[in-house]
Chain A
Amino acid sequence: MHSHSRFNCIGVRNPWPFFPILFMLLSIRLAAAQGNYEIQVYGADTVPPKNLMVELHSNYTPIGQTKFIDGVYPTNHQEHETLELTEGINDWAEVGFYVFTSEQDGHGVQWVGDHIRPRVRAPDRWHLPVGLSLSTEVGYQRAVYSTDTWTWEIRPIIDKTSGRWYFAFNPALERTLHGPDVKQGLGFSPAMKVSFDFTPKISGGFEYYADYGRLGAIDSLHDQQQQIFAVTDLNVSPKWEINFGVGLGPTAATDHLIVKGILGRRFDWGKKSAVD
Chain B
Amino acid sequence: MPAPIWSATAPDVSLQIAPCTLEPSPRHHIRTVAYNGQVPGPLLRMRQGEEQTIEIHNGSDDREIVHWHGLFLPSDIDGAMEEGTPMVAPGASVRYSLIPDPPGFRWFHTHTFAGKDLNKGQYSGLHGFLMIEPRDNPGRYDREVFLALHDWGGHFEGGDDGYMNPVYDVSTINGKMLGFGEPVRVKQGARVLVHVLNSSPTEVHWIAFAGHGFQVIALDGNPVPQTQTVSMLRLAPAERVSAVVEMNAPGVWVLGEVRKHIQNSGMGIVIEYAGASGTPVWRQPENLIWNYHQFAFSAKPVLQEEDAARIDLTFDSKFQGHGNEELWRINGKTYPHTDEPILTAGRRYRLVMKNESMDDHPMHLHRHTFEVRQVDGGPEIAGLMKDVVLVPARTTAEVEFTASNPGRTLFHCHQQDHMDRGFMMVFRYA
Contact = CB atoms under 8 A, between A and B. Distances in A.
Contact of A163 (B206, B286, B288, B324): B324
A90 to B, nearest CB: 13
Contacts of B164: 3
A146 B253 CA distance: 64
Interface in A105-162: 124-125, 127, 160-162
A165 B321 contact: yes
Interface stretch (A65-73, A168-176, A183-191, A268-276): A268-276
Interface of A: 1-6, 124-125, 127, 160-166, 197, 199-200, 203, 235, 238, 273-276
A199 B321 CA distance: 8
Contacts of B155: 124, 127
A97 to B, nearest CB: 25
Contacts of A164: 320-324
A162 B157 contact: no
B160 interface: yes
B284 interface: yes
A4 to B, nearest CB: 6
Nearest to B319: A200
B169 interface: yes
B158 A4 contact: yes
Contacts of A275: 206, 258-260, 284-288
Contact of B167 (A124, A162, A203, A235): A124
Interface string B256-272: 00111100000000000
Contact of A6 (B153, B167, B284, B322): B322
A243 to B, nearest CB: 15
B321 A163 contact: yes
**SS of B interface (majority):** loop
Contacts of A165: 321, 323
Given A124-B167, A163-B321, A163-B324, A3 B284 contact: no
B117 interface: no
Contacts of A161: 158, 321-323
A165 B319 CA distance: 13
B341 interface: no
Given A164-B321, A275-B284, A238 B260 contact: no
A189 B306 CA distance: 71
Nearest to A162: B323
B319 A197 contact: yes
Given A125-B169, A235-B162, A3 B258 contact: no
Nearest to B169: A125
Given A125-B169, A275-B287, A276-B259, A1 B160 contact: yes
Given A163-B323, A165-B323, A274-B287, 9 more contacts: A2-B159, A6-B162, A127-B155, A160-B323, A161-B158, A197-B322, A235-B162, A275-B259, A275-B288
Contacts of B258: 275
Interface residues of B, number: 28
A114 B285 CA distance: 44
Contacts of B136: none
B140 to A, nearest CB: 32
Contacts of B167: 124
Nearest to A125: B169
B30 to A, nearest CB: 13
B322 A3 contact: yes
Residue of A6, A161, A273, A275 with highest tally of chain B CB at under 10 A: A275
16 contacts: A1-B160, A2-B158, A2-B159, A3-B164, A5-B158, A124-B155, A124-B167, A161-B322, A161-B323, A162-B321, A162-B323, A164-B322, A203-B322, A275-B259, A275-B285, A276-B261
Q: Which 8 A-B pairs have the closest CB atoms?
A: A3-B158, A164-B321, A161-B323, A2-B158, A163-B321, A238-B160, A2-B157, A274-B288
B255 to A, nearest CB: 15
Contacts of B322: 3-4, 6, 161, 164, 166, 197, 200, 203, 235
Contacts of B260: 275-276
Contacts of B320: 163-164
B376 to A, nearest CB: 16
A161 B157 CA distance: 10
Contacts of A125: 153, 169
A200 B357 CA distance: 13
Nearest to B323: A161
B139 to A, nearest CB: 32
Given A3-B162, A5-B158, A276-B260, A199 B286 contact: no
Nearest to A200: B319
A197 B321 contact: yes
Interface in B171-211: 206
Nearest to A127: B155
Contacts of B284: 275
B61 to A, nearest CB: 21
